[in-house]
Structure 1
Amino acid sequence: MTTLCIANNRTEEMVGDLAGTPPAELRFAGCGAQRMLWWAEDGDVLVLPWGPDPEYLAYVTGLTGVRADSLAFVVPPPGAHGDQVLTADRLADPGFRAELRRALDGRAVDEVLAVSPNGAVAELADALGIGHAMPGRPFAAQGGNALVNSKAGFRALAAGAGVPIPPGRVAGSPAEVEAAIEDLLARGHSVMVKVEYQAGGLGNEILARDEKVEPVGAERVVPLPDRAAVAAYVAERWTWLTGGRGQRVVVERYFADSAPLYAEFVIGDTGAVLSGCGEMVMRPVVVGEITPPVTPDAGARDELVREAARLCEALRVIGYRGTVSADAVLTPEGEIYFHETNARLTGSSHLHHAYAGRLLRPEHRGSRHLLELAGLKVPSFAEAVAAIGAAGLAFDRERGTGVLFSSDFGPADGSVMYCAVAEGPEAARALEGALLALFAG
């Protein structure tokens, strides 16, 4: 049987209009799309923004045990936003679809697995005659992906399900946004404002009256000493706040010194199964994570998973099928507040599916910590792999510890994403330190 894997790692349903997205950000997303290789099994067909780097392909399949020559890769022509990400127009290209049909000829497709199971993927699956193999296709075909990735829609869904969310509201006009911000600031709280569609904290800003606040989960803190300053801020930032196309704005209380957490599930027809949970590393927006999380105690972790499961049940009932990461914060007072769901394969998914699920031996699962971060500068991917092997740092399946390279970010960035797998968080940090020392300078 064959899975059709579609690596549409950045879509309008996730982040809004792509027209103004910086090229480096699109390149980063396209490199992240190459992580779809971690899902591949023998005989699968993969649709990627560009063909896989041979060294990266050999590295991944060498670890997963997949026969690289059994895989088929299909790359559509560039679209309106170039060739860095798989946009809807690229997936609709007639020549691409003809080539994809040829690649699938003679293969029985039992699943269509997309990073973002959206309407473009549903339409492609129907055109290929394999719509039945896409979980949640009816929901996706009606624009459901935009619904479940909306930060504004999330607040309504969570409130209706009784899941705790930060005090605040969804606002649709400048006057409403101004009033919502001022209400929280006047009560002595800092504020987080959020663009309805964005990812990784890039659509967030923190607003503060007079307290000193370190930005975590947003790129900056904006001081607003009075109501007049609030009004000026809203007027100045209105186009950005609404994504340039009249989107709604989320205004909610910001909890300083909180731990950013997530719980990830896979939603099927009969329920949701926990993939894992973790803690995000912010500098000041997300740059990585550690799983399992290290800050929450057992009680807080149980609450995180329990409330996230309630969110997933609400999503299941309305028809979503696939991976969901429910993001939350644990405040210094021990309270958990959820602030969004990411209905797609996330930057965490390969850790739980491939690393813990495929690479770790059964006896090591549950007793390993995985610390993943981006931005390690290396001479080249091949040289980086050779270096960790020679230094004895490479992941070893028998021990269940070592360094893995998640993504090759290529010549545009000259870095790789790395994951330190160890028996505890301190050991993972020590392993990371050895890795960084190896490439220092």
Structure 2
Amino acid sequence: MSKLIIANSRTEEMVGDLSLLTPAERVAGGWGAQRMFWFADDGDILVLPWIADDDYIDYVLGRTGVDRASLTLLVPSPGYLGAELLTPDRLTDPGLRAQLEQALTGREIDEIVTCYDDAYVIELARAVGIETALPGFAFSEQGGDALVNSKAAFRAVAAGIGVAIAPGAIAGRPELAEATIARILGNGDAVIVKKEFAGGGFGNEILATAEGVRPAGARKVVVLPDEQAIKDYVAERWSWLTGGRDDRLVIEQYFTDAVTVYSEFEVGERASELRGTGQILMEPVAIGEIVPPQGVSPEQHQELVDEGRRLCEAFRGLGYRGNISADAIRTSDGRIVFSETNGRLTGSTHLHITLRDRMLRPEHRGHRVMIERAAWTVPSFVAAVEALRAAGLEFDATTGTGVVLTGNYVDVNGIVMYCIVGEDYESAEAVIATIDALPVGSA
């Protein structure tokens, strides 16, 4: 039995109109797609936008114990946005379909694993006759995954079942947006506006009446001192805020000095099983995370899990199957307030099901803290590997501690993502300064 893994790391239901992504965002998305190698097992088929360097692939498979020769790697012809992303035209390309049909000869697929189950994944699975291998196919076939990922639909579901959300509203027209922003700012609070479909804080902006608000979960703060400034802002930014296609706009009270956390679940036929919890590091948008979260009390952590499960169960009742991350914040006064659901593989999933459940020995699971950061500037992936080895920082399965390079080298910014595994938070955090100070060669 094998899996079909489709590395569609950016879709319209995840980030909006793909043509609006900057060239750097497209390149970064393509590099992120290579993280799907962490989910591979012997005999799997991977559909990729392009194939990463051998150094990265061999590094990942060497740590998961997968025989590279057993894998089938398929890359469709470049699409309307080039070769960085698996755009819809690439997934519907007859050439890819022919390649996949040939790869399936004599092989049984028991599961399809994607970053996101959109209409183009559905069509590809149906075309080659393996749609039953996609969990929740009937729900996904009717576009249901968009409901789970819509920040607007999330608010309706959460409010309907009594899960705590931030005060705010959904605006489909500029006039309602202006009124909602004015009301929240008039109460003396800051505002966060969110694209209906976006991730990592890149579709958000924070609004305030004066300088001094520190952004977290958005790239910038926009100062709107009066009603005319609000009107001008909405008029100027409306197309961007609605994804260039008249999506709905989410407007909420922004909580300063909050901690961003999540609980991630596998939503199955019978129940929603906890995969793990974590704390997202915002500088000012997501640059990493801590697993398990350190910024919540045991009681708050339990609430994060319990209420996150209730959200997942609501979507399970509708027919969704697969991964859901229920995102929330711990406010400065100690409340857990939920902010969105992400019905897809996330930037956290590999930490729970690969690093923890696959690379950590059973006796170490539940007794380690992981800190992942996309913040190490290096000249190449090879140079990063050699620097860790020379410093004696490589992950050691015997001790269950050390550093794993979880992402490959991103040449647009010279950064590689790494994960520190420590016996506790303090020992893991101390390694960050060590990594920052490492001499890195030019390999």
Question: TM-score scaled to structure 1, two decimals?
Answer: 0.98
Q: Is the 8 A contact 1:15 1:197 kept in 2?
A: yes
Q: How far has the Cα of 1:440 moved from its partner?
A: 6.6
Structure 2 matches for 1:301-380, cutoff 5 A?
Answer: 301-380=301-380
SS of 1:413's equivalent in the other structure is coil
Which shows bigger deviation, 334-343 or 141-150?
Answer: 141-150
| Structure 1 residue 185 corresponds to structure 2 residue 202 | no
Looking at structure 2, the residues matched to 209 and 438 of structure 1 have their Cα atoms a distance apart, in angstroms, of 43
Q: How far has the Cα of 1:212 moved from its partner?
A: 2.3
Q: How far has the Cα of 1:230 moved from its partner?
A: 1.2
Letter in 2 for 1:250: V
Q: Is the 8 A contact 1:369 1:425 kept in 2?
A: yes
Cα displacement string for residues 212-271 of structure 1 (whole angstroms, at most 9, x for unaligned residues): 210111111111112222111111111111111111111110000000001110101111
Structure 2 matches for 1:97-176, cutoff 5 A?
Answer: 97-176=97-176
Cα displacement string for residues 49-78 of structure 1 (whole angstroms, at most 9, x for unaligned residues): 101321111101111111111111001111
| Displacement over 4 Å in runs of 4+ | none
Identity rate of aligned residues, in percent?
Answer: 53
SS of 1:407's equivalent in the other structure is coil
Looking at structure 2, the residues matched to 345 and 289 of structure 1 have their Cα atoms a distance apart, in angstroms, of 15
Q: Is the 8 A contact 2:180 2:251 kept in 1?
A: yes
Question: TM-score scaled to structure 2, two decimals?
Answer: 0.98
CA RMSD of aligned residues (A): 1.2
Residue 64 of structure 1: aligned partner: 64
Letter in 2 for 1:402: G
Cα displacement string for residues 318-353 of structure 1 (whole angstroms, at most 9, x for unaligned residues): 111111111100011111111111111000000001
Looking at structure 1, the residues matched to 320 and 204 of structure 2 have their Cα atoms a distance apart, in angstroms, of 26
| Structure 1 residue 213 corresponds to structure 2 residue 203 | no
SS of 1:339's equivalent in the other structure is strand
Q: How far has the Cα of 1:421 moved from its partner?
A: 0.6
Q: How far has the Cα of 1:390 moved from its partner?
A: 2.1
SS of 2:83's equivalent in the other structure is coil
Compared with structure 1, are the counterparts of its residues 42 and 440 closer, same or farther at alpha carbon in structure 2 (3 Å cutoff)? closer
Letter in 2 for 1:316: R
Which shows bigger deviation, 236-245 or 67-76?
Answer: 236-245
| Structure 1 unaligned regions, length at least 5 | none
Q: How far has the Cα of 1:26 moved from its partner?
A: 1.0
Looking at structure 2, the residues matched to 219 and 414 of structure 1 have their Cα atoms a distance apart, in angstroms, of 20
SS of 1:341's equivalent in the other structure is strand
Looking at structure 1, the residues matched to 26 and 262 of structure 2 have their Cα atoms a distance apart, in angstroms, of 24
Q: Is the 8 A contact 2:378 2:440 kept in 1?
A: no
Looking at structure 1, the residues matched to 375 and 86 of structure 2 have their Cα atoms a distance apart, in angstroms, of 23
Looking at structure 2, the residues matched to 9 and 3 of structure 1 have their Cα atoms a distance apart, in angstroms, of 17
SS of 1:295's equivalent in the other structure is coil
Q: Is the 8 A contact 2:379 2:440 kept in 1?
A: no
Give aligned pairs, total.
441
Looking at structure 2, the residues matched to 261 and 228 of structure 1 have their Cα atoms a distance apart, in angstroms, of 35
Cα displacement string for residues 25-62 of structure 1 (whole angstroms, at most 9, x for unaligned residues): 11111111111111111111111110132111110111
Letter in 1 for 2:217: G
Cα displacement string for residues 149-208 of structure 1 (whole angstroms, at most 9, x for unaligned residues): 111111111111211100001011111000011111111111111111111111111111
Q: How far has the Cα of 1:379 moved from its partner?
A: 2.4
Looking at structure 1, the residues matched to 98 and 260 of structure 2 have their Cα atoms a distance apart, in angstroms, of 44
Looking at structure 2, the residues matched to 144 and 84 of structure 1 have their Cα atoms a distance apart, in angstroms, of 26
Looking at structure 1, the residues matched to 326 and 427 of structure 2 have their Cα atoms a distance apart, in angstroms, of 27
Looking at structure 2, the residues matched to 80 and 144 of structure 1 have their Cα atoms a distance apart, in angstroms, of 26
Looking at structure 2, the residues matched to 413 and 193 of structure 1 have their Cα atoms a distance apart, in angstroms, of 27
Residue 403 of structure 2: aligned partner: 403
SS of 1:411's equivalent in the other structure is coil
SS of 1:372's equivalent in the other structure is strand
Q: How far has the Cα of 1:139 moved from its partner?
A: 1.1
| Structure 1 residue 299 corresponds to structure 2 residue 277 | no
Letter in 2 for 1:264: E
Q: How far has the Cα of 1:211 moved from its partner?
A: 6.2
Q: How far has the Cα of 1:383 moved from its partner?
A: 2.4
Looking at structure 1, the residues matched to 151 and 376 of structure 2 have their Cα atoms a distance apart, in angstroms, of 31
Cα displacement string for residues 393-414 of structure 1 (whole angstroms, at most 9, x for unaligned residues): 0000000000000111343332
SS of 1:416's equivalent in the other structure is strand
Q: How far has the Cα of 1:367 moved from its partner?
A: 0.8
SS of 2:5's equivalent in the other structure is strand
